[in-house]
Structure 1
């Protein structure tokens, strides 16, 4: 079940597609697909356009309105194209997700959104849950 509110809510960056959302009495489950065309190697800082494979990460986010939030994120592994780099295969990093897997809320975006007369994150989540 996807709807425009849900897609907007979980659109963390331009390379993220919301594949599926399921709102249950106590949980919100979301499947996201990262569609990046390249990634930066953390070791050598080169940008690689060469996909290696896909993998998934499961992230339990902070509860919202007494609903546990569970994300499944489909990401790429990449080949490093720098022949001098010791890292041959690496996983892509997301600026909105910490390496430990905790979602980092972007409160500035939320406040800017409210200031522009658009829905705030908490209002959007409330509408999603009560829909």
Structure 2
């Protein structure tokens, strides 16, 4: 059942709306997402993402257990952390694809090198033809 409208909707309505808006999006937006908090910056490392998500999740749970309305802001921060994780996954997938291509190229070079070495050994070990004078 949907909550009653007004300036502050229930958390179920917010999550429902977020789910609907993300359902049709298979690609990342072409414009940067404005973050609701100054906590996020471009120096965020992938290793910090799990810690950041956990902190925001715990803060959101505490706010939902309380009586204040800070959960709205915390929900936006948590969503931003999830969007950042999604961008990281997409970036990692594309980087893995490029790395795979480079490894395949390197394997081809190594195979050509090995074939050349074998040909040189075979040529060196073959009986020498007498010179005709």
TM-score, with length taken from structure 1: 0.20
TM-score, with length taken from structure 2: 0.20
Greater C-alpha radius of gyration: 2
Tell me which protein shows more strand as a share of its residues.
1
Tell me which protein shows more helix as a share of its residues.
2
